[in-house]
Amino acid sequence: MDTPRRLLLVNGPNLNLLGTREPEIYGSETLADVERLVVDTAAASGFEVRAVQSNHEGVLIDAIHEARPDCAGIVINPGGLTHTSVVLRDALSSVALPVAEVHVSDVYAREEFRHHSYVRDVAVVHVIGEGVAGYAHATRLLLDVITGHADG
């Protein structure tokens, strides 16, 4: 069977407020800007994107499960769920798709509780603290993994 030419983009709680929430930390670009950036980055490699954002953990888990048959990988910014959600980590692990974890801010330069990621061990790509541009970087790295062009 051919690898699907689609990525799932997952944005967790509060990321709908990008551009207005703490712009000194997260910048002024919006979630629509993020989605457009990932769509354009993926399209350059012949991939399409299905995007989901929710403030509800179960909605994100359902979207991850639904990606299994028709997506080649997942780009995810779990937001605060990064540091708290074993079930989100388990959902990512259970679908057996390559995962790129992305964070707009440098979570390791912030509060101590943000230093632990439940997603880290199931992700093959980690892009931390590059702002919204990090989504494009994470998408390109994930596509390299999917297409077999990753260094390694």
> How far is the CA of 56 from the CAs of 23, 25, 52, 95, 104, in angstroms?
23, 23, 11, 19, 20
Question: Is 109 a domain residue?
Answer: yes
Catalytic residue, chosen from 65, 103, 115, 137, is 103
Question: Is 1 a domain residue?
Answer: no
Q: Which CATH number belongs to the domain containing residue 19 in this structure?
A: 3.40.50.9100
State the residue range of the domain holding 63. Answer: 6-147
Question: Is 125 a domain residue?
Answer: yes
- Please tell me whether 83 is known to bind a ligand: yes
- Please tell me whether 90 is known to bind a ligand: yes
pTM equals: 0.92
Cα gap 130→61, rounded to integer Å: 26
Instruction: Reply yes or no on whether 116 is catalytic.
Output: no
- Please tell me whether 68 is known to bind a ligand: no
Res 47 pLDDT > 80: yes
pLDDT band of 23, cuts 50, 70, 90: confident
Cα gap 2→134, rounded to integer Å: 28
Catalytic residue, chosen from 26, 115, 118, 126, is 26
- Please tell me whether 14 is known to bind a ligand: no
Question: Is 104 a domain residue?
Answer: yes
Q: Which one has a higher pLDDT value, 87 or 2?
A: 87
Question: Is 139 a domain residue?
Answer: yes
Q: Which one has a higher pLDDT value, 152 or 137?
A: 137
Question: Is 96 a domain residue?
Answer: yes
Cα gap 41→74, rounded to integer Å: 14
Instruction: Reply yes or no on whether 103 is catalytic.
Output: yes
User: By C-alpha distance, which of 61, 84, 40 is closest to 76?
Assistant: 61
Q: Which one has a higher pLDDT value, 110 or 126?
A: 126
* Total tally of structural domains belonging to the chain: 1
Please answer whether residues 130 and 100 qualify as being in contact, where contact means their C-beta atoms are separated by less than 8 angstroms. no
Mean pLDDT of 97-112: 87
Mean pLDDT of 52-62: 98
pLDDT band of 152, cuts 50, 70, 90: very low
Mean pLDDT of 8-33: 87
Res 66 pLDDT > 70: yes
